[in-house]
Every structure is written in C-alpha cells, then in structure tokens.
Structure 1
Amino acid sequence: MARATSRPESTRRRQRWPDGYDPENTRNSLITSALGLIEQRGFDRTSVQEIADQAQLTKGAFYHHFASKDDLLRHIQEEYLEAQLAAIQKIEADSDDPTVRVRELIRFSLTSVAEYRAHVTIFYQERRYLTGDLFAEVTRKRGLVEAAFAGMVADGVARGAFRPDVDPRIATFGLVGMCAWAYQWLNVGGPLSVDEVARQFSAMVLEGLSA
C-alpha cells in the first residue's frame, strides 16, 4: 500500500487560516484597540467584547490570541518593558562612558514616553489589576529595568565619574520617576521637542551626579 504523503506546509496553512487572515495583524489590531479603550476608560471598565468590536473582530478571535483580559494587560505591560530592556542593551553596547550612558538613557526614556504613551499610562494606572504569575512576571521585568538603571549609576560612581556619596538605588528612583511621570505632561507638539526636554533633564541629572 502506498504511503500517504504529508501535505506541503503552505497547504496546511491555507487550510488552517481562511484566505486573507493574518494572525499577527489580528493580534496587533486587538492590542491597538485595547490600548485606546483602556487608556480612555480604564481596565475595569473595558470589556473583551468592546475590545473586539473596536478592532472589528470577534470575541473568538480575542480568545485565540489571549487567554484573558488580564493576559492582554500583561502583554501590554511587557511590550513597553521589553522595549526598554532592548534600548538599555543598545546603550550599553554603544558606549562604556557612564555620562554618555545616563544621557542616552534619559533621552530614550522620554522618547519612549512619547512613543508608548498609552502603554506607559496603562502601566502606571492599571497594573494593580494584574495578580499571581502575571503580576510576578511584569514585576520581574520591571526589576531588570531598574537594575540596569542602577548599574549604570553604580558604574559611574565606581569609575569616579559620579560623586562617591551617590546611592545608585536612590538615584534610580529619581531617574525613573522623573522620566516616567512625563506621560502626564509631555506635549510632543509643544514648544520644546522631546530631545530638548531630554537635554535639559540630562543637564540637571548629570550636574547632580558629577564628581
């Protein structure tokens, strides 16, 4: 008896997904819909049905990509944190000068507030709704970001670029808070560009840190 041959991957994919269906685009549409609704209404006042309706999709499509509304919230939080971690790695690879690193970190932090404003708003206002393993994973990645900030400051202290009495942990709280809170007031179309705000922030911070 002849052995049945397996179907080509392209055939299997066409049979699994309807023509024109793009899983990645569907997922991104749901995330974009959720970002707008949750930023405007809050997590607890936004339903899965509303997210699906706004994206012109079904609840079935939502649950194909996310286990729950909490899972979607975790994804939104991690998307922002992972962008921060990737930027930190690049900053560290591009220069070993502590002053340059902190300056670039401030510039990126403010740029990301402008680029990820909805993510940042949701991160600070809605993360209390995460619990259990979802909260633990977001907290772990948040800790990695803060540890990287503190590590850059500690390196500057150790190398004599920053004052020896600077506590890296306290400096990190100040840096993170100063940059993150900009989501409340930073006006991308205002009289000062994001780069100019970053320059002024850097001048204040580095003047305080410099040995």
Structure 2
Amino acid sequence: MAEEKTSGRRRWPEGYDPQRTRSELVASALRLFEENGFDRTSLQQIVVDANLTKGAFYHHFESKEDLLWRIQTEYLDTQLEGAQAIVEQGGDPIDQVRELIRLSLEGVAQHRPHVAIFQQERRHLTGERLAEITRRRDEVEALFRGAVQAGIDAGRLRGDVSARIVTFGILGMCAWAFQWFNPRGSLSIDDVATQFTAMVLDGLVAGA
C-alpha cells in the first residue's frame, strides 16, 4: 500500500516505521551528497527530499555529520565483513587476492553512492567519527595487505615488491572505478574484476 503524504510529512498507513524512515533519510542524503557535495547540502534539503521533518531526522541522527558517518560506516562494514570472510577461508593467497579485488569492485557496483561519498566527503568528519572511519578503513587495508604479504612469503608473488604499496595500488584502482563504471554498460563487474585481476597478478606472480 502506498504511503500517504500529509502536511509536508510522510505518514505510513501501517503506522510509524522507524527503519523505513531512517532508510528514506539515508537514501535522500546519498542522492544529495553525491550530486551536490556535503557542504552544499543542507539538513533542510535532506528532510524535504525525503518528505519528512527535522523532528524525524533528529530522532535517528544527531547531525548532518552523524548521518555522513553512518553512511560511511555502512559501506566500510560490508567491505570489512566480506574481506574477513575471504581471508578466514584460507587457501591459496593468489585466490585470496583475486577474491578481494572482486569484493572491492562489487562494492563499487552495489554501493556506488557510498563509495563516491567515502572518497570525496570523508574529510568532513571530525573527532571520534573520523577516528572510527579511519580505524575501519585501516582494518580493510590490513586484510588486503595480509593476503598480499602471504603470497610474497609463500613465494607465490614477487619478493621485490612492498605489500603496502601493492595494497594501496589495488584499493585505489578499484575505488576509482566509481568514476567510470556503468552497470548498464557493455562490461559487467565480473568482466572488470577479471581484467583488473589479470593486470595486477600478471605483474606480481613470481617467475612471471
């Protein structure tokens, strides 16, 4: 059943739905932050776009910065959970690197606005929120770096490269895909992952 709209606010026929209200606010912020940037998006614009009220906003978020932090946390948590699952499975470190590249690119395909906002707007975070996002980002990087280092230690990847620099290169290459990847284009995210993996591993595999 469609929701009713009364007096500039959204009323759910089934009664107030906190999760749905929160999702509407996040979706609105994702659109506006990506289109206009964090600085040029006001709290008023977010609630008007979501057809909600400031009261509804403050029920879920402390501030516009708090909303930005939660958006970035949501994205990083999916990446962290996925990377942990890949690494915990063990096995061939090259397969791990391959799956981590795919995970990163799938994040771009499935959460493009989150990635764009993470890359372009996280400088607006301060204090504990910035520290928390930095910690999560570092945990993701550490999992990627650990897989690369395991490949080096096992003699599967070249020993004359820095695992840290390789990790920065992989993550930067994958993240930047948000600028050009078109999910409706001729290449699927699997196609892109296959080509990225070939480029990375062709230069890293020992004896190549």
- Per the TM superposition, whether the score is higher than 0.5 is yes
Q: Partners in 2 of 1:166 and 1:123 — Cα distance?
A: 28
Q: Partners in 2 of 1:90 and 1:137 — Cα distance?
A: 21
- Look up the match of 2:75: 80
Q: Which runs of 5+ in 2 are unaligned?
A: 1-12
- Look up the match of 1:24: 19
> What SS does structure 1 have at the residue aligned with 2:184?
coil
Q: Partners in 1 of 2:113 and 2:52 — Cα distance?
A: 21
- Look up the match of 2:40: 45
Equivalences, count: 194
- Look up the match of 2:168: 173
Q: Partners in 2 of 1:106 and 1:88 — Cα distance?
A: 10
Match of 2:192 among 183, 197, 204: 197
Match of 1:133 among 128, 134, 147: 128
Q: Which runs of 5+ in 1 are unaligned?
A: 1-17
> What SS does structure 1 have at the residue aligned with 2:66?
helix
Q: Letter of the aligned partner of 1:174 in structure 2? A: G
Moved segments of 4+, more than 4 Å: none
Q: Normalising by structure 2, what TM-score? A: 0.90
Shift of 1:171: 0.3
How big is each residue's C-alpha offset from its partner over 1:128-153, in whole Å with a ceiling of 9 and x where there is no partner? 11111111111111111111111110
1:108 matched to 2:103: yes
Q: Partners in 1 of 2:108 and 2:119 — Cα distance?
A: 12
Shift of 1:208: 1.2
Q: Normalising by structure 1, what TM-score? A: 0.89
Shift of 1:61: 0.6
- In our comparison, the structure showing a higher alpha carbon Rg is 1
Shift of 1:109: 0.9
- Look up the match of 1:12: none
Q: Partners in 2 of 1:192 and 1:69 — Cα distance?
A: 36
> What SS does structure 2 have at the residue aligned with 1:40?
helix
Shift of 1:197: 0.8
> What SS does structure 2 have at the residue aligned with 1:140?
helix
Aligned residues with identical type, % of pairs: 59
> What SS does structure 2 have at the residue aligned with 1:189?
coil
Shift of 1:170: 0.4
Q: Partners in 2 of 1:188 and 1:90 — Cα distance?
A: 25
- Look up the match of 1:206: 201
Shift of 1:93: 3.2
Q: Partners in 2 of 1:25 and 1:191 — Cα distance?
A: 34
Shift of 1:165: 1.2
Q: Partners in 2 of 1:98 and 1:166 — Cα distance?
A: 15
How big is each residue's C-alpha offset from its partner over 1:144-177, in whole Å with a ceiling of 9 and x where there is no partner? 1111111110111111111111211000110011
> What SS does structure 2 have at the residue aligned with 1:196?
helix
Alignment RMSD, CA only?
1.3
